[in-house]
Amino acid sequence: MSGHGTPIPMTSHPCGPLTGTAEVPGDKSISHRSLILGAMAVGETRISGLLEGEDVLDTAKAMRAFGAEVTDHGGGEWTVHGVGVGGFAEPDQVIDCGNSGTGVRLIMGAMATCPISATFTGDASLNKRPMARVTDPLALFGTQAVGRSGGRLPMTIVGAADSTPVRYEVPVPSAQVKSAVLLAGLNAPGKTVVIEKEATRDHSERMLAGFGAEITVEDTDEGRVITLTGRPELKPQVIAVPRDPSSAAFPVCAALLTPGSDVLVPGIGLNPTRAGLFTTLRKMGADLTYENEREEGGEPVADLRAKYSPNMKGIDVPPERAASMIDEYPVLSVVAANATGVTMMGGVKELRVKESDRIDAMARGLRANGVTVEEGDEWWSVEGLGIGNVPGGGTCESFLDHRIAMSFMILGMGAKKGVTVDDAGPIATSFPIFEPLMATLGAKLQRNNR
Ligand SMILES: O=C(O)C1=C[C@@H](OP(=O)(O)O)[C@@H](O)[C@H](O)C1
Ligand SMILES: C=C(OP(=O)(O)O)C(=O)O
């Protein structure tokens, strides 16, 4: 569980060229889903390359509490002995999902149509995040939820013993909401239909098909229509988790900003519903190439090479690209500060309800380091100062948000003076090897022990 330890202040000092190979950890979205679907299959699922960050470890613990046998064999190799769809046992303890929105929302969906109750909680960040976006559609299955005011955790979910299938149009672009409804639909008899107007990451759809569920996806005038037939017997899988593009974003952006850099990030998942940042960076003029493009375990994968890119220009990032790069806006804003001209980022209201209000958190920290930021409810813009011209020297709050902490560490690498975050502890939720990996490439990160 994250966010309860002693804060770890950290400074990122301007550094020389970043060079070498950055083997970033496994994809967080696919790791959560491997454990949850493995727990709902009959028999043993084998997973390699699982992300062993706090968010995913909390999901592993939760799956044990619901009755699955989850074993860590070391080196990212895990097995999950599942209990079958509808087979979850009632946990005898509160399920603590730590800092993880994905963990709590997907697990709520997975247990929502089982005849059991469970109480969920999280850290100070997760307990502020909205859960009604998930419990509203789950109510259509007959599931009940009692939480704190405003639909916040801690919250008890009473599963629906006799569920009916559901047709639900997701009102916000959210793969977590879509996935929660699909996972609940697994134990409802008949066809559950989820419609999304904007495509969001489709790992649940791909993996449900891989586990043997009957699932179809159609692009229609209404949007993407996903139809799932309930009560399948899920077949255990052998899963090789690709490396996480959202984690790759940090060494990639650091390389673009640091003179002389040349960094290779091998084996990155490049599912088009996740790759929006790399499209955006190339449009800004980044020297970013895909090498050795291939398919692994049903996901497109490539090796990414990023080189120092002194001539990047600010652009208008199209709102329709937002879902495919939603977790990457914080680090994009750091690149934007080093480009010339303004970068405008619209259609990003969802950034306000992540681990922190990410527009507010980045705007404060960028301003503290000499960068001009403007913002509205659903948009923000960053005025680029040109490469190497960010003054730096400021201290930023990370607000229990791993992506905010890592983004400010990247800001420091290309600034005139070092940049400090008050707490780098949350980085362990998604990228536990961030500090040693960046140091191997040539970054100068320093823990400031109080
Ligand atoms: O489904 C997932 O694995 C995720 C979906 C996204 O959240 P939303 O569903 O809230 O957009 C993303 O921000 C999160 O990091 C992971
Ligand atoms: C938003 C994120 O995660 P979650 O919603 O799972 O907490 C993230 O990792 O950037």
pLDDT digits (tens, 9 = 90+) for 307-348: 999 999 999 999 999 999 999 999 999 999 999 999 999 999
Q: What is the pLDDT of residue 194?
A: 98
Residue positions forming the annotated binding site? 28-29, 33, 101, 129, 174, 176, 327, 354, 358, 403
What's the pLDDT tens digit per position in 217-243? 999 999 999 999 999 999 999 999 999
Task: Classify residue 443: in a domain, yes or no.
Answer: yes
397 lines ligand 1 (CB under 6 A): no
Residue 312 contacts residue 284 (beta carbons within 8 Å)? yes
Same domain, 38 and 17: no
SS3 state of residue 20: strand
271 lines ligand 1 (CB under 6 A): no
Task: Classify residue 230: in a domain, yes or no.
Answer: yes
Q: What is the pLDDT of residue 5?
A: 83
Same domain, 232 and 297: no
Q: What is the pLDDT of residue 178?
A: 98
Q: pTM higher than 0.95, yes or no?
A: yes
| Ligand 2 center to 356 CA (angstroms) | 10
- The answer on pLDDT for 298 being more than 90 is no
Query: CATH number, domain at 312?
Result: 3.65.10.10
Same domain, 370 and 383: yes
Q: What is the pLDDT of residue 449?
A: 75
Same domain, 368 and 271: yes
Structural domain that includes position 196 = 28-240
DSSP-derived secondary structure for 123-169: -TTGGGS--HHHHHHHHTTT-EEEEETTTEEEEEEE--SS----EEE
Same domain, 151 and 177: yes
Catalytic residues: 327
Number of the ligand 2 atom closest to the C-alpha atom of 430:
9
Same domain, 341 and 232: no
Q: Identify the domain boundary among 179, 210, 240.
A: 240
- The answer on pLDDT for 66 being more than 70 is yes
326 lines ligand 1 (CB under 6 A): yes
Same domain, 224 and 259: no
Overall domain count for the chain: 2
Same domain, 81 and 133: yes
High-pLDDT (> 90) share of the chain, %: 97
**Between 2 and 96, the higher pLDDT residue:** 96
Can you tell me the distance from the alpha carbon of 245 to that of 233, in angstroms, rounded to the nearest whole number?
31
Q: How far is CA 214 from CA 168, 191, 194, in A?
A: 18, 10, 14
| Ligand 2 center to 355 CA (angstroms) | 6
Q: Which of 354, 402, 407, 427 to mutate to test the pocket of ligand 2 (most atoms within 8 A of CB)?
A: 354
Task: Classify residue 3: in a domain, yes or no.
Answer: no
Task: Classify residue 126: in a domain, yes or no.
Answer: yes
Same domain, 16 and 34: no
- The answer on pLDDT for 450 being more than 80 is no
Task: Classify residue 1: in a domain, yes or no.
Answer: no
The first and second tokens of residue 62, run together, are 């939760």
Q: What is the pLDDT of residue 1?
A: 41
Q: What is the pLDDT of residue 2?
A: 42
Mean pLDDT score across all residues of the chain: 97
449 Cβ contact list (under 8 Å, min separation 6): none
Can you tell me the distance from the alpha carbon of 94 to that of 65, in angstroms, rounded to the nearest whole number?
9
Task: Classify residue 435: in a domain, yes or no.
Answer: yes
What's the pLDDT tens digit per position in 168-177? 999 999 999 9
SS3 for 325-370, per residue? Answer: HHHHHHHHHHHHHCCEEEEEECCCHHHHHCCCCHHHHHHHHHHHCC
| Ligand 1 center to 174 CA (angstroms) | 6
Task: Classify residue 4: in a domain, yes or no.
Answer: no
Same domain, 402 and 414: yes
Task: Classify residue 87: in a domain, yes or no.
Answer: yes
Q: Which residues line ligand 2 (CB under 6 A)?
A: 100-102, 327, 354-355, 403, 430
Same domain, 299 and 211: no
Q: What is the pLDDT of residue 296?
A: 86
Number of the ligand 2 atom closest to the C-alpha atom of 103:
6
β-pairing, 238-240 with 42-48? parallel
Residue 4 confidence class, pLDDT cut points 50, 70, 90: low
Q: Identify the domain boundary among 178, 209, 240.
A: 240
CA-angle at 426, arms to 424 and 430, nearest 5°? 120
**Between 450 and 385, the higher pLDDT residue:** 385
Q: Identify the domain boundary among 208, 240, 272.
A: 240
What's the pLDDT tens digit per position in 126-152? 999 999 999 999 999 999 999 999 999
What's the pLDDT tens digit per position in 200-222? 999 999 999 999 999 999 999 99
262 lines ligand 1 (CB under 6 A): no
Number of the ligand 1 atom closest to the C-alpha atom of 179:
1
- Asked, as a colleague might, if the bond just before 154 is cis with ω within 30 of 0, I would say yes
The first and second tokens of residue 234, run together, are 């899920």
Residue positions forming the annotated binding site for phosphoenolpyruvate? 28, 101, 129, 176, 358, 403
| Ligand 2 center to 130 CA (angstroms) | 13
For the CA of 178, the nearest ligand = 1
The residue whose CA is least distant from atom 12 of ligand 1 is: 327
258 lines ligand 1 (CB under 6 A): no
Same domain, 195 and 259: no
Average pLDDT over residues 256-279: 97
